[in-house]
């Protein structure tokens, strides 16, 4: 119950922070650009060999590392289900997601090294967006596994990670909203039970004695293992 309340309370605070100030600039939110769409160019043909090595190779290297990170996962999945080590499966997915995200960001950075808008569009279409989505998909799977497995704190960490990548991700926002609703309902149920003489064991109502005032404010300090996703 304590872990549930901690995760749900965090979800409530974070969801409020996300929705409270829609007009403010958010560091991870890309700024809108004007103008017509640009047809992506051919990176292989239009970049010189040294430009290709500087711009594209670092991206491809990170993609290769993401695929390599999943090799132990495949080996573990080949074992009988009862013998699979869940911590290895989780760690492999986390590493793969972090490399895909790094590839997306490398593509975003590489766009500043080319002048043609068509090449910028190619980097975005071929590398930035697809790899970002791969990272999000992996984190969504990890969040769902944690949520259904009762690890509410871990689930919140993954959902927060997703929103740090894509602030408008509806799945993560919806999941955090549900956690917040569960938190509010748990408080109501506890108060109702208390009014009927259900006892007052502090361990059954940790939110009455725990200080959650700092939850949802950057997740720094006192949240040692909430960064399981690399947050």
pLDDT tens digits along 168-178: 999 999 999 98
Question: In the prediction, which pLDDT does 225 show?
Answer: 36
Residue segments in the chain with a per-residue pLDDT below the cut of 70: 1-36, 195-231
Question: In the prediction, which pLDDT does 8 show?
Answer: 56
pLDDT digits (tens, 9 = 90+) for 12-55: 555 554 554 444 444 444 444 544 677 898 999 999 999 999 99
Question: In the prediction, which pLDDT does 187 show?
Answer: 81
Tokens encoding 230 = 């690399």
Three-state helix/strand/coil letters over 39-85 = CCCCHHHHCCHHHHHHHCHHHHHHHHHHHHHCHHHHHHHCCCHHHCC
From CA 30, how far away is CA 152, in angstroms rounded?
A: 29
Question: In the prediction, which pLDDT does 214 show?
Answer: 34
Contact, 123 vs 55, CB < 8 A? Answer: yes
Reported pTM: 0.70
Q: Which helix (H) or strand (E) holds 226?
A: none
Question: In the prediction, which pLDDT does 37 show?
Answer: 76
Contact, 189 vs 28, CB < 8 A? Answer: no
Question: CA dist 140 to 85, 132, 133, 158, 211, Å?
Answer: 20, 12, 10, 7, 29
Question: CA dist 211 to 89, 146, 180, 222, Å?
Answer: 33, 24, 17, 11
Domain ranges of the chain: 2-20+39-195
Contact, 141 vs 93, CB < 8 A? Answer: yes
Question: In the prediction, which pLDDT does 189 show?
Answer: 82
Residues whose CB falls within 8 Å of the CB of residue 132, separated by 6 or more in sequence, listed in order: 100, 101, 104, 165, 166
């Amino acid at each position: 119950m304590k872990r549930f309340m901690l995760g749900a309370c965090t979800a409530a605070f974070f969801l409020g922070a996300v929705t409270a100030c829609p007009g403010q600039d958010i560091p991870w939110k890309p700024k809108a650009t004007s103008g017509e769409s640009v047809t992506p160019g051919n990176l292989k043909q239009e970049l010189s060999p040294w430009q290709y090595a500087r711009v594209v190779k670092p991206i491809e290297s990170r993609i290769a590392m993401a695929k390599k990170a999943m090799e132990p996962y495949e080996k573990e999945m080949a074992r009988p289900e009862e013998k699979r080590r869940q911590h290895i499966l989780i760690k492999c997915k986390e590493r793969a997601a972090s490399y895909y995200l790094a590839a997306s960001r490398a593509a975003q950075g590489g766009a500043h090294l080319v002048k043609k808008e068509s090449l910028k569009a190619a980097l975005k279409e071929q590398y930035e967006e697809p790899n970002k989505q791969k990272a999000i998909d992996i984190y969504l799977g990890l969040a769902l596994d944690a949520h259904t497995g009762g690890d509410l704190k871990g689930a919140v960490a993954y959902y927060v990670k997703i929103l740090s990548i894509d602030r408008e991700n509806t799945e993560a926002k919806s999941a955090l909203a549900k956690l917040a609703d569960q938190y509010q309902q748990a408080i109501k149920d506890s108060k109702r039970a208390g009014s009927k003489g259900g006892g007052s064991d502090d361990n059954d109502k940790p939110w009455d004695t725990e200080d959650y005032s700092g939850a949802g404010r950057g997740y720094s300090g006192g949240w040692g293992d909430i960064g399981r996703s690399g947050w």
